[in-house]
Structure formats: C-alpha cells, structure tokens
Amino acid sequence: MNPISQNIEQLRADFPILGRQIYNRPLVYLDNAATTQKPKCVVDAIADEYYNLNANVHRGVHYLSQQATELHEAARIRVKEFIGAHSEREIVFTRGTTESLNLLAFSLGEWLLGEGDEVIISTMEHHSNIVPWQMLRDRKGIVLKVIPVDDKGNLLLDEYEKLFTERTKLVSVAHVSNVLGTINPVDEMAKIAHDKGCLIIVDGAQSVPHMPINVEQMDCDFLVFSGHKMYGPTGIGVLYGKESLLSQMPPYQGGGEMIKTVSFEKTTYEELPYKFEAGTPDYVGSHALAIAIDYLEKIGMDNVARYEDALLHYAMEQMRTVEGMKIYGESDKKDAVISFNIEGIHHLDLGTLLDRLGVAIRTGHHCAQPVMQRFGVEGMARVSFALYNTKEEIDAFIAALRRVQKMF
C-alpha cells in the first residue's frame, strides 16, 4: 500500500485548513491546480523567520543578516537538488512561473531573437506562456507558431516537427496542461528541438508538484515553476536555466543586488544567479519553499505521483457515471487535473452550487482561452488533486454533483 494511503489522516492533520467547515459542511478542497494548501511546517517556518531571523540578505555583516543569507542560499541549493540541476548558479528566484516566463521572453528577446525569428508554443499553454511572446512579437517582430492538439488532448508531434524552419530559435511548452491534465512528452520534444538547433523552455508549474523531475535527464534548457502550487508560499518561484545560456543573457530588471559596480558612465553586472535577481529577494519565501520541498521529499515524489494517479483514475471512473458528463482531456498520460462540463448546467452555476455544498472547484477559462476555443466552449469546471485528497472526498464531490443536477 502507498505510504500516503496508510498515513492519510496523519498527513491531512498537517494542513489545518482541511478541518474547516464551509456553510456548515466539511471542506472538500479540489482546486489544487490553482494553489495548494500549506502544511503547518511551512507556515511555522515563515513565522519563525520573521519573528527571530528577519534581516535583509547579502552584504550584511551582522548576525541576523548572515543567518538569513545562509537560509536563503541553502534554499537555492535545496531547489537545485530537488530538480537535479548541475549548479546553484542555475537557480534564479522569481515571484513565480509568470515572472519566470516574462524574464525569459524579455532576456531571450534581447539576446537571441530578432525580427522574423520563430518561437513555437502549443494550443494548451497558460496565458503566461502566450502573452509574453505576443508582447515580444509586437516589440521585435518575431513569429509565433502553435502546436495543435487532438480531441483527446494530446499534442500532435508530427505537426510539431513540421513547424520547424531555419528561422525557428525556441520552443516554449507546458509539461502538464492546467486544463487538460495532459503530460506532454517533453523529453522527446527537447530532443527534437535540439536536433533542429533550437532551445526549449518547459513550464513545470503543473508538473513539479506532482512527479519526480530531473532537468538533466529531461535536457530542457529552462524550467519554470511556482512555490504556491507545491505547498509553499505565494510570491516565490523558480527559473532554472543552463549556466552556459544564462551567462550570455542580459538582465531582466536593474537595481540593487544584480550589480557589481555602478557609475554614471557604466554599470557591470553581478555573477549568476544574482544578475537576474534585482532588488530585495523574498528570502523568507525561499526558505519556506525549501521547507515545502523537504516535506515533499520526506513523502517521496514517486509516492505522490502514484497516489495522485490512483485518485485521478478513481475520479474519472466515478465522473463518467454522471449523466450529461463531458470530460475534456482524456490522454493516456494525464496528471491529476480533470476539466468537465455537465449538459444543461453552466459551469459558473455548477461551481457556485458546489461551493454551497462545501466542495471547492475552479470554473471559467482557467487562463487558457485558446484551449476553450479549441474545444468549442466558453469555459469549463475543473477539479484538481493533491496529496492530501481522498477517495472519500471524490465520493462527496460526486454526490454533490448529483444533488446539483436535481436542481435543474
């Protein structure tokens, strides 16, 4: 038996919010693709640092600053180990996946991409992996190409290969779709890109919290992800980049921390990774992210992946028994996300009524309007799972769905 299943009540006790009642009903939280709840150890780490070690990091000679700096840089090493990076110089702290992608679009746009150069993205991208490239297109005249998706939610890899020309420089693709749940074959996509002489960015926002990740095995050039989707705090994220590439890229923002010398004639920039970390970093958030990683690794990412996969398949089976159910994204390789609609019920009405029954889901376009257009809908309802969810919660969700149906 999976150790998560064996210890699920003890594990759930680590997340005090799961004991809440909503409208006098037990909370069933199934909105984990939007953000995960935080274990007590993460919240305690934040409070402890603010109460006992709060001081700005780097360059401070006093005790508190040195201690805060040690925690911040230890977190960088912890992230490096967690994703299998070669060096902590390859780990840049950001505010989250969105800022990481904007950083890459700006910096690669300045260094690598010129008018007429091509960037390949996919139909299933989150807006944060579409809009920054459109902004770059408007600014510099790059060309965006889009990998199509089939009816089951799989990227069409034959079509992907056909998109490359001598002007293609970069691929930027989600590892896991936040709508369809599809796990894209990024290892294979990276090899294809590299064989064509192109770089590849992998958006790991929906994969890093749910499965083992090794950037060297994947051979991606860049990986981006957020702390708040992996049981850490909001406002902290990660950009991994190969050192050989980051060292050639210009800074994204200017200010303190990212400089070596400043005069009115010239500024020289700091070494990696600080060149990309202008201003005071979220040193409390970085430490709390490291605590979240410790929490995940104590459980084991293989265990997390297997447990959530079992939840996913159980939920899919149960949802298919609901009359009028339409599930979007039925790839054979799918992560713990299910988007759906029920015939005759608007997704916003469905989400609102489920909330009154204590079940928290997400509704709308999920920051992926091109996916909605591909499947011919305005929006979808979405359930998404985390390591603290249970089959009993899925049963409660299905019972609530049936109750809502009776209202229409």
- Strands 222-226 and 237-241, how do they pair? antiparallel
The candidate with the shortest Cα–Cα distance to 385, out of 293, 288, 324, 318, is 318
Percent helix, percent strand, percent coil in the chain, to nearest 5: 45, 20, 40
Report the distance separating Cα 191 and Cα 187, nearest Å. 6
Report the distance separating Cα 121 and Cα 123, nearest Å. 7
Residues near 300 by Cβ (< 8 Å), separated by ≥ 6? 3
Report the distance separating Cα 138 and Cα 135, nearest Å. 5
Strands (E), 38-185: 91-94, 118-122, 143-147, 168-174
Residues near 381 by Cβ (< 8 Å), separated by ≥ 6? 339, 340, 341, 342, 347, 350, 351, 361, 362, 363
Find out whether 386 and 37 touch, Cβ atoms under 8 Å: yes
Sign, Cα dihedral of 110, 114, 118, 124: positive
Distances from the Cα of 245 to the Cα of 119, 126, 200, 204, 276, angstroms: 17, 24, 12, 19, 13
Residues near 288 by Cβ (< 8 Å), separated by ≥ 6? 42, 45, 46, 49, 227, 232, 233, 236
Residues near 324 by Cβ (< 8 Å), separated by ≥ 6? 342, 343, 344, 345, 405
Residue entry with tokens 């390591």: 387
Report the distance separating Cα 244 and Cα 88, nearest Å. 13
Find out whether 339 and 124 touch, Cβ atoms under 8 Å: no
Helix (H, G, I), strand (E, B) or coil at 151: coil
Q: Is 367 a catalytic residue?
A: yes
Our CA angle for 95, 97, 99, nearest 5°, is 55
Active-site residues, by number, are: 367
